[in-house]
Amino acid sequence: MIVVTGGAGFIGSNLVRGLNAIGREDVIVVDNLSGDRKFKNIADCRIADYLDLETFRARIAIRSTALPEVKVILHQGACTDTTESNGRYMLDNNYAYSRELLEYCAQSGIRFIYASSAAVYGTGVNFEEAPVNERPVNVYGYSKKLFDDVVRGENARSESQVAGLRYFNVYGPGERHKGRMASVALHLHGQLRSTGVGRLFRGSGGYGDGEQRRDFVHVDDVVEVNLWLLQHPEVSGIFNVGTGVSRSFNDLAAILIATLGTGRVEYIDMPADISSSYQSYTQAHLGALRAAGYAGSFRTLEAGLGAYAADLSRQSLMG
């Protein structure tokens, strides 16, 4: 039995679908479906059970009798709003909850694979998985770094797999419910289709208008890394998950415009609430992941975004 927390969310639902694709239906989805429509992300998935987040946390508190058949927890559940300023809320969702799961897994011999984030690197330029490079500039990034630091200590003692994945800029199907926190790819596609004009930020961090660079990674590639870790219980550690290549937002817009056959870009001021913590450049260092044995390739932005844009356009035509 496999638990996927945040299983109705963006990456979580794609991970459930990926598990189904390899014949795994013994999946327990954990999430909070109050007040949103994330259920659509898993409506076509085959799962063994669904647990509300609070019910799940209550069971975990029972420790050894909580989930006796579970062998692996794929922990994707978190507050991913990088503009959230309530540190108490963020640390409960991203740090305390994760610690509860880590301690439960350690006591129960359950393998634990979890989502971290490139936000731990802040506005730095070195993205190798080392504490010296980790300087988060918002409470979201801090909550992820704080837990990663706990995992570093736990990995020295744990007999079961404990692996953290630092996701870079993930895009792809299943992210509509994220609103403002959805990928720039989704927002740009919607803008270009509805008005013919895509909006990007004016220059920042020494980069020109729209020339800020990110490591954009398709969600299917993120799923593949998770599934590889599932198949390699001997691998523990903290690993970046990105393509290893940075691309500009102008590149992203140009691909979407070419796919749609029309559109242009205009540049707008960056909102004040993110300007001081904005990452103008990210690029995953993949040395640790490759050294661990992962040999899979990552989609180019042209391939991944082209497929995503075509899928979004089909959805729009279907209403």
Catalytic residues: 140, 178
C-alpha 58/C-alpha 100 separation (Å) is: 10
With a CB cutoff of 8 Å and minimum separation 6, the contacts of 108 are: 63, 64, 66, 70
What is the sign, positive or negative, of the torsion defined by CA atoms of 206, 247, 10, 284? negative
Q: Over the Cα atoms of the chain, what is R_g?
A: 19
**C-beta atoms surrounding 80 within 10 Å:** 22
d(CA 118, CA 140): 11
Q: What backbone torsions phi and psi does residue 271 show, to the nearest 5 degrees? A: -55, 145
> Dihedral angle at the C-alpha atoms of 30, 141, 280, 277, nearest 10 degrees?
120
